[in-house]
Structure 1
């Protein structure tokens, strides 16, 4: 069945026709994304992302796709089993016929043994429960009980282990400073703030996974004056079988960049310390598997020997044997051994950390040790129990810090500083001088030389956000060094069950891609392209490390363009600096992961999703819902566009992980088209000096491009339709599609007046134009996904026409449009549109043309070669790819992926004709 043959009657069907309370396999054939019949999947065996089972596992959630029509259910809870391991399952997305498209599964803590085979059937009970009252929520799992108040300063009021109160008052902290750092002739003052929870929502309540969402702001402490600021949203994830709670911390920056400087941002909790100080311990994770561990009152290394059994017990973190058996000289001298109350691990850069301790505030810090990169976990407690707190991407997000305070007191504090108070205060001001480029003419000149579009006030950081992930353990005893090391590995590299590329592909999700061909029998032409894609992916992994793309606001992004003369990316040249998703870098990484299953690619793509969805997008203020074009700072370019806030860049991660925060980010964008009139998203190059923007022809309409604007909104609407089944979003998509198809030049109109209320484009569309940017921000991927799902024949014809003619010979395009539009840019990128038309129209000659267009890229002609640069030419030796470009890398990679999937059967013939292989 072709996509156009998909009837409107079947399209309009919803899950109501199959409202079943259990999962029911479908009996008939299934329609895949490409319009071909595919069989049901029969094996869903999950694997560990890193290739082996973790030594410690605190629970995880993962998504699994299903072919269209295979499984049906409208129940909120689904029946799946995974051997004898507790699992909780629920619907994540639906196909248009109401069948399940994605299911989410929460796996309990405790490392599962054997094969991770997901099957239909009754799951093993989880044992996690949630009780609610007007003032608090209690989560119980085995001997762990967590108490979450519904308002106030504490996120978690207390946690008990086997009846013992071990943790108290988990809170958020922020430090405000009224200047950056003290200058030689000035001073700065700091003000402290604490979390104030205003609402708590129970999103899930067991039996394997409970999720609580806490919203609030940071309020000034004590009598200090100051307004509430830094609104936050924190999710707490509890898993049966786990000793910990996962914390996902998100906040929005809403200060005055000229007056409010974040001097510290942290998560802190109190720990009950009931053991003798020689039985109290502090642990820090070090480099690799390393652990730093010491007692509050150490008894090793003394002038007098207490006895080996005592030293062994303290090093292991166990209670000392009865003191009566200790050497008398040591017994008598215990009172003179200092009690070390405060400990800090400070990682001020990605390249170094230090550990220091002191007896108490007001006394000197004593340096202990240091290293390069710590994994980000701290413990404080004793033989009777304690608390460990870890921060994911610890050294990558530097400056960061881990603290223990008051370890010699009855209540200690452990703190993970997401932004360290030891570093200079966070500076969110513009890097530009006041009064720079005030006039339009000056701004055009600046754009032409630095490629960054600037207008005063449009380079504001107000409204950007950041999400951090933490893990908090409540333990019954001090962990051994090995156990603590295993915990630290879970903080730095959380274990994830994942489906194989073959299993993901069998479900027919995410459009046109195939699993990577790694066989020894692949043809030379395919090997050439597969190897080239691997080289480019590996190079970007190197670039993150070689050029230290780390830091609180930066980690997860890559740079836009390279300067081979300096052997540096153009970090200081306006629009050539941070990439901000330019030309769909996010999608390139995600599709590369889908087809390879590589853990390193997943982790880079995950970091990018966390960054680009938060930092590069406004979540409050006049630009809310829009992202910022690439620039020297992530928010410095004045072009605010949906192409950056694009939900297409988040949805793959969302479906693979069921991550609620990313789900929130996509949902934020649903009505952003209604705000388009508030922000002129066009760049200055589209105007001439002295001209004003042309007003829309009718009230209530705004000018919108089909690709960079409408195509970005479509991703959010599609995701919401899939998640909820709400036909409002499907209808809005179809309205836009059909109205594009009704214009005289259809997709070749490039843009048209748009009505946010109806989702329709208006006007004759009789002025043909080609923008190479229109197709490179996800609309190709979205069209591939949407056309098999919706009944929009006019759009299908328009899109196939655009795909066929975008790269067509100029004479053919002139005959179609009656106007010479010149040679389009990004011909190799456009080759995947040619391939799409060739596949769906079964045109082998067009398929060969697609490969010729693809081969025109310099990517296969030497620009991918690397060279070693060392000596005085660079700060450190590096492996350089002189011709590297993120625009080209992302789009060439996406074109390679889609071309292989669509017209791979003609590759060998085309490659031989081009002389690429013999």
Structure 2
């Protein structure tokens, strides 16, 4: 019997092909324990909902042991436009992840050498060690793929002899470890880890992880590939990086097919085209059939003349699509080595799908963010191999036909004063950064038609995703307090317009400024130069944002409250980028990230806040993405990295403390890491470390108002005060600290911690004389100590709500309404200017304030929305009055 407790789900992206989907669901404290969950497909017409098999597992727990987030996997064989309902059903204790009886699921056989995965449609052998990521894939007794491997090309230059010479060295992936992470019944997940080993030498480098996802009843495999850079950027240039599949070739050359997706259509050709100067009549019809992917046949006696023409015609052995930039791709083909390539087509943005196959089927490969993360490519080689042999189909993450990957810094020194770079030391190393790509493989029984290929391309580019309603996310207080859109009064409608306008502005900027590319896609830039009409792409610390002032959180809250797919994709891209490129996953700075800079890894400041789990856990819990789970696990002990690289080294010399940190953003970042590890793994040692830190802050003379710099020992978690009035309190609250602490407060249920947060919020914007009076003259209101009021609004709104403090609430609204982002319709105020082409600009734009104004407005509407004036005139008067005060 289904419980009345149920959750409606809808498609964020409606699947056009049969698909597996994984998603997360939040629960109120105590609501879900170990009950079984049923997935019901909602029907347009009245009637009994169809029940689907669902695989469920806990993703996070409340302190009482109940489930905070659950994760689920299911298969959609046909469109379900009405969505689904996830409901509790009576079942034995411990049944959350128990398979349903009588259902055929994905089966995994674990042998000493390989995993053998049977989805019911395809069987795939995955080796546990050594070269190769796939041994073979079979469908209906036919081999679709005879092997898959990772490839890399290293380029080295030399000018010793007076001549510039280039050497290229080829590497192939070698798996060192394999793990079966899930074994069905709906979904199986295999994780491979290894390095790329030289084919001509002994060097092994470029560590990788690769997850393969299999779903019951499907012919597809999802892949999530991450490579890490561990070379010397002055010597180790990457010329190519990709994944190559061997595809058996059966039948005549004219019954083999190559497909590449273009902007809107499909490039469809064969190694041996039926097109000749005498193709007409019946042969023209056969030519059309061939181009559509059908098997064609001839009678030697009747078709002897035409077969002679085919023998004389060129046979094309290799085909290539290279997406060289966000605005151009080229398709070319070549008959054989030693001959020139012929341009076949050009276009703007290829959709990232390709197919190679012959009689009996073949392999389609789709790549997510194909043109956005250029230079990507698709390549077919050896298409004319004799029947029984295998052609090669490569998905290039970095195409070798593009210029080599250059990871050197943009200068040989830092520019702290002139360009806002963070430290005098030059620590601009890419050693330890990473990049992640997602692919889809389809193992088809025959050549897919154009419509099917376009649907595959769409599924790869915008993977189908189930989500809850914004109301459910809000009601469960997923990720703390935030507001649903509310246009019930003119002022609230006005603020909603401003919030939507800022998102729309950045969506336009991503496209207008071409914030695309392998290492850049997903990030925004920091601040604007109105003289050149460009963002400060070349000005030290004013170029790429690198999570400065928590734009990730802003975008995710905007998705949670709206349910908009376009916002989800914006936040998803930023999460993928900032969690990989801006973070060190191993090496000297493991667990830290790089502050904003011209080059993402360029700043001398390596800080925990950039890598903190609090920025990435939104995506993890909404999608159950294991790669993000790895990243969040990596940073649980990031506080130890500050012993070798003290974040306050420029201000405090070595003393009795192992290191020095600020309560925010440093300890705030640590607490987000520990909270996430605790709720995911139930490890109370990390909860205790949080409590130790909170108790240390409680013992300070003015609790959270003191500091914010402390001596710190990561072994004990104890913070020791360094004085009550050192500067920089705005840094404690603008990098995601309040958002983490609000959620942490719900888990700890510590009234004094909540009161400390409220006290800080009320205190921050008090007049100087009130600050001094409350602290007996110890803490003053000098601007250096309480800078940038707009950054304080979220925690101030919390204080106003917690203490029912009307004056603080009024100050919050004054700050927000008086801010340029609160007063400006960005689209209306954009100016048409010319740089290298016509552009539209807002000449005072900066992402710091855009992020914080939006984030703090969203939270304030939830906490103190009832104190907001209803009329625009009253709001304007309030803003004017309090700003003058």
Q: TM-score, normalised by structure 2?
A: 0.92
Q: How does 1:180-579 map to 2 (within 5 A)?
A: 185-221=163-199, 224-288=200-264, 290-300=265-275, 302-305=277-280, 306-323=282-299, 327-409=303-385, 410-433=389-412, 436=413, 446-517=415-486, 522-579=488-545
Give the corresponding residue for 1:831: 793
Contact 2:758 2:800 in 1 (8 A): no
Of the three residues 724, 735, 757, the one matched with 2:715 is 757
Give the corresponding residue for 2:764: 806
SS in 2 for 1:156: coil
Contact 1:109 1:241 in 2 (8 A): no
> 2:339 and 2:161 mapped to 1: Cα distance?
26
Residues 431/816 of structure 1: CA separation in 2 closer, same or farther (3 Å cut): same
Matched, 1:101 2:80: no
Greater Cα shift, 715-724 or 133-142: 715-724
SS in 2 for 1:714: helix
Of the three residues 732, 756, 760, the one matched with 1:774 is 732
Q: CA deviation at 1:58?
A: 2.4
> 1:661 and 1:883 mapped to 2: Cα distance?
37
Contact 1:49 1:599 in 2 (8 A): yes
> 1:868 and 1:795 mapped to 2: Cα distance?
44
Q: CA deviation at 1:672?
A: 1.2
Q: CA deviation at 1:797?
A: 2.7
Contact 2:276 2:313 in 1 (8 A): no
SS in 1 for 2:135: strand
Residues 182/208 of structure 1: CA separation in 2 closer, same or farther (3 Å cut): farther
Greater Cα shift, 204-213 or 787-796: 787-796
Q: CA deviation at 1:875?
A: 2.0
**1:59-110 alpha-carbon deviations (Å, 9 max, x no partner):** 111001111111112x8x8665553333211111111111111111112152
- What is the total number of aligned residue pairs between the two structures? 851
SS in 1 for 2:746: coil
**1:287-328 alpha-carbon deviations (Å, 9 max, x no partner):** 03x111112211135423243441232122011144469654
Contact 1:196 1:217 in 2 (8 A): yes
Give the corresponding residue for 2:782: 822
Give the corresponding residue for 2:151: 173
Of the three residues 875, 891, 899, the one matched with 2:836 is 875
Matched, 1:697 2:656: yes
Contact 2:119 2:216 in 1 (8 A): yes
> 1:116 and 1:183 mapped to 2: Cα distance?
68
Residues 181/277 of structure 1: CA separation in 2 closer, same or farther (3 Å cut): farther
Residues 811/456 of structure 1: CA separation in 2 closer, same or farther (3 Å cut): closer
Residues 285/184 of structure 1: CA separation in 2 closer, same or farther (3 Å cut): farther
SS in 2 for 1:776: coil
Of the three residues 136, 139, 151, the one matched with 1:161 is 139
> 2:831 and 2:811 mapped to 1: Cα distance?
39
> 1:453 and 1:764 mapped to 2: Cα distance?
22
**1:522-579 alpha-carbon deviations (Å, 9 max, x no partner):** 2110011100011110011111111111111111111000111111101011110010
Of the three residues 592, 607, 628, the one matched with 2:573 is 607
Greater Cα shift, 823-832 or 343-352: 823-832
Q: CA deviation at 1:863?
A: 7.7
Q: TM-score, normalised by structure 1?
A: 0.89
Residues 696/60 of structure 1: CA separation in 2 closer, same or farther (3 Å cut): farther
Contact 1:827 1:856 in 2 (8 A): no
Give the corresponding residue for 1:895: 856
Give the corresponding residue for 1:35: none
SS in 2 for 1:331: helix
Contact 1:868 1:878 in 2 (8 A): no
> 2:107 and 2:309 mapped to 1: Cα distance?
49
Q: CA deviation at 1:244?
A: 1.3
Q: CA deviation at 1:604?
A: 1.0
> 1:720 and 1:427 mapped to 2: Cα distance?
35
**1:309-354 alpha-carbon deviations (Å, 9 max, x no partner):** 4123212201114446965431332211222110000111110001
> 2:741 and 2:469 mapped to 1: Cα distance?
25
Of the three residues 6, 9, 13, the one matched with 1:46 is 9
Q: CA deviation at 1:831?
A: 2.1
- Over the residues paired in the alignment, what is the CA RMSD in angstroms? 2.3
Q: CA deviation at 1:397?
A: 0.8
SS in 2 for 1:386: strand
> 1:183 and 1:601 mapped to 2: Cα distance?
54
Give the corresponding residue for 1:32: none
Matched, 1:90 2:57: yes
Q: CA deviation at 1:770?
A: 4.5
Matched, 1:66 2:27: yes
Q: CA deviation at 1:447?
A: 1.2
**1:444-469 alpha-carbon deviations (Å, 9 max, x no partner):** xx311111135454111111111111
Residues 697/798 of structure 1: CA separation in 2 closer, same or farther (3 Å cut): farther
Contact 2:662 2:710 in 1 (8 A): yes
SS in 2 for 1:388: strand
Matched, 1:641 2:630: no
Q: CA deviation at 1:795?
A: 2.5
Of the three residues 735, 738, 741, the one matched with 2:692 is 735
Q: How does 1:572-587 map to 2 (within 5 A)?
A: 572-587=538-553
**1:171-190 alpha-carbon deviations (Å, 9 max, x no partner):** 00000011399999411110
Q: CA deviation at 1:127?
A: 1.8
Of the three residues 811, 814, 835, the one matched with 1:849 is 811
Q: CA deviation at 1:856?
A: 3.0
Contact 1:85 1:107 in 2 (8 A): yes
> 2:868 and 2:449 mapped to 1: Cα distance?
57
> 1:577 and 1:803 mapped to 2: Cα distance?
31
